[in-house]
Amino acid sequence: MPSRLDKNMGPVVELIAGSYEQITFGYRLCTSEEEWTATADFTHHAHTASVSAVATSERYIATGSRDETIQIYDMKKKIEHGALLHHDGTISCLEFYGSSHLLSGGQDGLLCVWSTKNWECLKSIRAHKGQVTSLSVHPSGKLALTVGTDKTLRTWNLIDGRSAFIKNIKQNALLVKWSPPGDKYVLVVNDHVDVYDLETATVTSTIINPKRISSIKFLNNSVLAIAGDDQTVRLFDINTQKLLCEFEAHETRVKSVDSFTMEDLCVVVTASNDGFIKLWKLNLETLGSPQLLGKVNTTARLTCLSVWQPTSLQESPPEIKTEPATSQGTDLNRPVLDWVGPDFSKKRVRISTVEVVIEESSSPKKKKDGGKKKQKT
């Protein structure tokens, strides 16, 4: 099914960007043969600290922040949908699987799986001893990868919420990402990208970027866009390690890169500390110098970026068990979804959800308080 159409602007595409100024920006694209323009659609100022992560699904936008909350915005109704309160510390990474689940990782080392139907926290897994720096869900929805400041890469079985594989790495990884087919994954450590084969779990190739890497995006099965601590975006072939194309995207370092396709057109979207979001037309066949399609100045210091492009829904993932199945976990107080819709502007209604058990990758030491965590209010 093609992208949903807007009466005046053709396929619906919005650019969602978070900032140090605590604001999330939404810009609706207007595409034409002559020029592409971005019109301000909304600003979401629900956080009390800088926005650290953003993710989009068919209906919702999720933003994470240093204020320890995940804010949900309903793109269908154009309203604030609520706040998820479960993590302690900065929300470092967010990713939707289709329209049914949201995964979050944070400074507290937790990997949480949320249902978008009622926003219950189905699983809360003690993924790393340090911060979870990045996560990626396999296209099948059955596996997830996480990396953390404990210098480990971990594979998680999302059916039962258990660790399936642990790999020690020499340094703290910044990013991890599955390839579109799910047969490979890439791991970013400083300025290196290691490409792993899923079956053998071994490195098949290594790409070296001139600068520290801050963001990556697969443009197709083999072409990886890399942005880092300079003004340039570089495209590499993960199989041959060949530099296919590079272009100067901004005047300062590029903080985030994303992409979308429209018919046969590949559009690379970049965001920078200079406040600009830019769109670049790229021919993946010839991989020549990209053409600047348009740009918008948010006047803010941008931290993260995601493209919202509603399409046909993905197939439902495998059922994730809500009952804890471990003898090692320690009970948590039930997480709370604070609903702050338009009818409750002055009154916050708390909706209790199912009890969640933290699953430890190794046997934890008993705490004086019995391992229970105080619930946020």
326-372, pLDDT tens digit by residue?
222 322 232 222 222 223 232 232 333 333 333 444 433 333 343 33
Indicate whether 264 pLDDT > 90.
no
d(CA 201, CA 308): 32
d(CA 78, CA 68): 23
d(CA 293, CA 281): 6
- The mean of the pLDDT values for the chain is 81
Question: For the whole prediction, is pTM greater than 0.75?
Answer: yes
User: At which residue do the structure tokens 């570089």 appear?
Assistant: 234
d(CA 281, CA 269): 9
Query: What beta strand segments (E) does 190-275 contain?
Result: 192-197, 203-208, 213-218, 223-228, 232-237, 243-248, 254-262, 265-272
Pairing of strands 175-178, 110-115: unpaired
Q: Which is more confident, 368 or 67?
A: 67
Neighbours of 224 (CB within 10 A): 21
Neighbours of 296 (CB within 10 A): 20
Among 173, 282, 193, 285, residue whose Cα is nearest residue 239:
193
Q: Which is more confident, 220 or 342?
A: 220
User: At which residue do the structure tokens 């600047």 appear?
Assistant: 292
pLDDT-derived band at 10, boundaries 50, 70, 90: low
d(CA 339, CA 363): 36
Which range is least confidently modeled, 38-42, 295-299, 319-323?
319-323
Q: What is the pLDDT of residue 7?
A: 39
Q: What is the pLDDT of residue 311?
A: 75
d(CA 158, CA 208): 32
Burial 258-272 (b: 16+ CB within 10 A, else e): bbbebeeebbbbbbb
Among 258, 267, 294, residue whose Cα is nearest residue 278:
294
Backbone angles phi, psi at 343, to 5 degrees: -85, -5
